[in-house]
Structure 1
Amino acid sequence: MILDFAIVCPAGCSDGCCVIWDFETRGIAKELGDKDCVAPITSVCWSKCGRHILVSATDKSLTLWEVFNGEKIMRTTLQQTTLHACLHPGSCTPSICLACPLSSNPIIVDLNTGSTTVLPVSVLDASTGPAPPSRNKFSNGSPPFTPTAACFNKFGDLVYVGNSKGEILIIDHKNIQVYGIVPISGGTVIKNILFSRSGQYLLTNSNDRTIRVYENLLPPKDGVRALDELNSTIDELHGIDKLKAVGSKCMVLFREFQDSITKIYWKAPCFSGDDEWVVGASASKGEHKIYIWDRAGHLVKILEGPKDALMDLAWHPVHPIVVSVSLSGLIYIWAKDYTENWSAFAPDFKELEENEEYIEREDEFDLIPEAEKVKESYVDEDDEVDIETVEKDSAFSDSDLSQEELCFLPAVPCPDVPEQQDKYVESSSKLVDSNHSGTPLSEEAGQNGQAMNPASSPINVINNSVAEDTGITRLKRKRKPSEKGLELQAEKGLKPLMKNKSSGKLSKIKNKSAAEHDICAFEDDVIDESQ
């Protein structure tokens, strides 16, 4: 389900988290979840203002999230797993939702108190008379697996329920009263039912492999009052006949969509944002096909994806973009392939098939052409420009009551994984320990039973000893001793620096005069080579 302003799209994951994807950056804008949300998500629903999300999961829970701050407002647990849940479309503050459990009647849930109200799925449930024994029961007497589809109308004052008998019940959810019944040809199970964004059309997906579109004849507002007036005008009928008579004046069949060749089942049908197109997916397990019809009933396009079953489908509120979810958990975005139209950037641009001779005007390349000098400017430069007010656009809202809609969702960077932080801390501590303990050469020498000065390396021994004895801070150049230097070392009885095997320590220069003479030998060597 895509937000009205079409900036983000939520997706429920199998680990219980709800991930909100940004259409602009194509990244994760927000992730909603905590330690209590661990079960796979079955449905997600935006509130009318776009600031809240209702999430249903397989652990029979309903969770309401505040999107901007990522806070959990409430969480309640029902008696059965909810396959589909939607918030009341007529109020900006989410307080009521409609839940369709796995194998029981739809219920109205009060999010403030947690109380539930069961809606009837047949006239027998709404009547006071006893219901006859059902023949569609298992051997143990439990009811069969019959999920029921239901949805609000545009302003949420009525609920339309599709039952397993192929009937659409028009119910006032506040008074729990059935006002009308619309029978469907064939009398098969209704799997999906939903309204278009404008509230003018109702779509149903039945078990007879047919998608039907009904035109809503009731006014968008005050549907309950209009139904009361219809009931008062029909006095000669009673019971089910009267409910069907009222239903025939509330809805009329507009179009039917089916594949007359393959006779495939449909899944997740929906309308486009402007109600001009109807889209439905194939329910076959081995294919990812999306069928698009126009409202007149003509098949316009078939989109073929990978060999992965399709689970859900949603149409972009404004643009011709379709989002589909596969069985493997991948989300596919289908968009129109646009060709480059340079005239959209420059209205006076004209594509030429061959070269043409062009004669430029006299003032064509002047800073202020003569033609523009003649024109008068009607722009009032003193008027203030309002850049803060957002004008309402009917294309972005299902309801006129929507206020303070969420127009922007800032992307929050995800924190580092704690395991990675522990690795970084451990590596930095090892680096500090290595700086304090010495080089790997010293560690190896320690393991071999030899000792080494941890504060210095073999190369720095002579530098430190000379600096201590002569006061020289450092040697700018390090060169090998020359022949003269080696002869002087041999005369004085000095030996090259090496490890003493008996003591395990490096032999140091003890004679101060020899060290001074050695430095002089280094300097003479440099001078000789430079000459």
Structure 2
Amino acid sequence: MNAPIIDPLQGDFPEVIEEYLEHGVIKCVAFNHRGSLLAAGCADGGCVIWDFETRGIAKEIRDTDCSAAITSVSWSKYGHRLLVSAADKSLTLWDVHTGEKIARTILQQTPLHARLNPGLTSPSLCLACPLSSAPMIVDFDIDCTTLLPVAVPEMPDVLAPPQRSKCPESGPPFSPAAACFNKSGDLVYIGNSKGEILIIDYKTVRVLALIPVIGGAPVKNIVFSRNGKFLLTNSHDRTIRIYDNLLPAKNVLRSLEDLVKKIDGDGVEKMKAVGSECLKLNREFQDSVTKMHWKAPCFSGDGEWVIGGSACKGEHKIYIWDRAGHLVKILEGPKEALIDLAWHPVHPIIVSVSLAGLVYIWAKDYTENWSAFAPDFKELEENEEYVEREDEFDLIPETEKVKVSDVNEDEEVDIDTVEKDAFSDSDMSVEELRYLPAEPIPDTNERQDNMKLIEARISASPASEEAVQNGHGPDHASSPLLGEEMGETRGKRKRKPSEKGMELQAEKAKPLKGSVRTVRAKRPVVDQEIDDSVCIDVFFSTTTQLCAESSSSWDKHDRK
């Protein structure tokens, strides 16, 4: 309880690699709203969904039309849909429960990132950020795209008709812009190559506010915290900046429109004035020693921590800051570059993707706390002499007589009212997809191997040997396949015999071959291999017989 006061740098953040997940070469990951499912895009164009509680694969999604690497994956608000963008310029919308493809569209440029609208129950709108084109809104229902502005127009009051087409014409090349929806999905925040943050109403394709970034460096990443109160930007000047979102949580678009009408002025200055009422710079994060670039920065689930991955080659380092700006932890992983990061929405767990395609799970290093087992348990650093109380062994101690129960037994307990889920801000009328049904696969190969082993042991029993000696069992000479397999088995275990062994084998050649034949020629085998345990039993039985016969022959020789 008093741990944060004693050590303010101690907190619920990951410390060590707990385990790793492997399925081909992973390129990107994303958690669903609850963190119960983890989606990952692969380099071969497939997508795998893990049940994060059991670490088992819940579903595999693959498009036969796509064989290029996946660049991003995005969950819908309730987890029923998954948006996948690939390097072949495609955007595909999937139904997670059934694994069926809902829609697919081809862009003119490769989408680096694509996000579904978080404000819609069944989203068909997504925001895509192409490689060398302006961010665009893609509507799967009508199969069209809408380009968004990446700079303030010279005459903001005169609105140009929005460009809507299936494949928009490519403009002049420029640095890719980063974009994201706000929490309610009403506005789009774009960070451009001029070091500006634009707030855009994507329905009317109009720039409502402008916030200049200090230094004017191009913005590489832009992302909101889970609660929508903070905005994070990553710029080319190797600095991560946190902004406070000053707009209300509800009716954001209406509040912003009223703010635009209330502020006097025109042009860029008016937009900057509106932007100062929307975002306020809170903190800057950077490594003042190495001045490294950051990759895939994001917030923790509760917004209290900020993480960023090192963009240096051959390093798998994750930096963790608190929101006050203090560097609290540096996680060092294997000697592999880091390409993607994701923080679990609920637990202090970080998932990182390496260049080799492995997904590393970072978790807190928990230690045993014996004081948590009982309320009166006390940990001692050294032995202390115990002095028993005077009433310790009484039937009713005096200390318990003084105690008075604070529970009011006459108070009525409300069992009808359902408390609202504090974690989820979703509509309770819509069922959220938290888990996927398991699809077990029977272990047919293992079962067949066990059956072969049982049959081999039964056939090697003394009863089967007697049956063969009595003439009821088949001879292996009648089965050429069996002879070939036995020849191969003997060939693998050949040893050079000694001189005495060769003499004894010459004397007992016929009985020895018969004994081996009676033991091994139990039954015809078709498309099977002789089990190792049977061969070992035959070897030991033959060796025992040879030793016994040799000892008896030497005894006769000594008597003579």
Normalising by structure 1, we get a TM-score of 0.71
Q: Secondary structure of the equivalent of 2:31?
A: coil
Deviation at 1:95, TM superposition (A): 1.7
Partner of residue 250, structure 2: 221
1:245: which partner in 2? Answer: 273
Residues 242 and 281, structure 2, Cα contact 8 Å, conserved in 1: yes
5 Å-filtered alignment, 1:143-154, equals 143-154=172-183
The 3 A distance-change label for structure 1 pair 92 and 446 is closer
1:257 maps onto 2:289 in alignment: no
Q: Deviations over 1:331-387 (max 9, x none)?
A: 11111111111233332322233255456443489xxx997999698779x99978x
Question: Compared with structure 1, are the counterparts of its residues 226 and 446 closer, same or farther at alpha carbon in structure 2 (3 Å cutoff)?
Answer: closer
- Residue equivalent to 2:394: 362
Q: Which has the higher contact order (CA 8 A, sep 6+)?
A: 2
CA contact (8 A) 2:196 2:211 kept: yes
What is the alpha-carbon distance in structure 1 between the residues aligned to residue 352 and residue 418 of structure 2? 31
Other-structure match for 2:295: 267
- Whether the aligned pair in 2 keeps the contact of 1:49 and 1:402 (CA below 8 Å) is no
* Mapped partners of 1:327, 1:445: distance in 2: 50
Q: Find the counterpart in structure 1 of residue 49 from structure 2.
A: 20
Structure 2: distance between partners of 1:126 and 1:415: 67
CA 1:444–1:126 in 2, change beyond 3 Å: closer, same or farther?
Answer: farther
What residue in structure 2 maps to residue 319 of structure 1? 347
Change (3 A) 1:248 1:41: same
* 2:477 matches 1:441: yes
Q: Which amino acid in the other structure matches residue 438 of structure 2?
A: A
Go from structure 1 to structure 2 and tell me whether the alpha carbon gap of 1:80 and 1:274 turns closer, same or farther (over 3 Å shift): same
Determine helix, strand or coil for the equivalent of 1:156.
Answer: coil
Pick aligned residue for 1:411 from 438, 443, 452: 438
Matched-pair contact (CA < 8 Å) for 2:159–2:206: no
* Partner Cα distance (1:215, 1:45) in 2: 25
Say whether 1:157 aligns with 2:186.
Answer: yes
User: Measured at CA, do residues 272 and 126 of structure 1 come closer, stay the same or move farther in structure 2, by a change above 3 Å?
Assistant: farther
Task: Determine if contact 1:317/1:396 at 8 Å carries over to the other structure.
Answer: no
| 1:392-431 mapped onto 2 (5 Å cutoff) | 392-397=420-425, 403-414=430-441
8 Å contact kept, 1:126–1:178: no
Q: Does the CA contact (< 8 Å) of 1:126 and 1:177 recur in 2? A: no
CA distance in 2, matches of 1:259, 1:198: 27
Change in 2 beyond 3 A, CA 1:271/1:447: closer
Which secondary structure does the structure 2 equivalent of 1:86 belong to? strand
8 A contact 1:315–1:323 mirrored in 2: yes
How many angstroms apart in 1 are the aligned matches of 2:82 and 2:335?
A: 31
TM-score by length of 2: 0.68
Change (3 A) 1:300 1:375: closer
Percent of pairs with identical residues: 62
The residue type paired with residue 261 of structure 1 is V
Q: Pick from 112, 122, 130: which aligns with 1:93?
A: 122
Secondary structure, counterpart of 2:350 in structure 1: strand
CA contact (8 A) 1:94 1:111 kept: no
Are residues 374 and 38 of structure 1, via their aligned partners in 2, closer, same or farther at CA, if it must alter by over 3 Å? same
Whole-Å separation in 2 of the counterparts to 1:350 and 1:169 = 57
What does the per-residue CA deviation read over 1:215-251, in whole Å, with 9 as the maximum and x for residues that have no partner?
Answer: 111111222212222222223x211111111111111
How far has the Cα of 1:174 moved from its partner? Answer: 0.7
CA distance in 2, matches of 1:296, 1:230: 29
Aligned length: 418
| Gap runs ≥5 in structure 2 | 1-29, 161-169, 457-473, 485-560
Amino acid of the residue matched to residue 372 of structure 2?
A
- Separation in structure 1 between the aligned mates of residue 477 and residue 286 of structure 2, nearest angstrom: 80
Cα displacement string for residues 16-49 of structure 1 (whole angstroms, at most 9, x for unaligned residues): 2211122221221221224234221111111111
Contact 1:48 1:402 in 2 (8 A): no
Name the residue aligned to 1:288: 316
**Structure 2 counterparts to residues 5-154 of structure 1, below 5 A:** 5-124=34-153, 127=156, 143-154=172-183
**What CA distance in whole angstroms lies between the structure 1 residues aligned with 2:63 and 2:270?**
51
- Kindly indicate whether the alpha-carbon contact (under 8 Å) linking 2:476 and 2:482 is maintained by their aligned counterparts in 1: no
Do residues 200 (structure 1) and 232 (structure 2) align? no
CA–CA distance in structure 2, aligned partners of residues 232 and 257 of structure 1: 35
Matches of 2:225 and 2:210, distance apart in 1: 20
Q: Which amino acid aligns with 1:409?
A: L
1:310 and 2:338 are equivalent in the alignment: yes
Shift in alpha-carbon separation, 1:374–1:248, aligned structure 2, 3 A: closer
Q: For 2:481 and 2:306, locate their aligned partners in 1 and report how far apart those are by CA, in whole Å.
A: 79
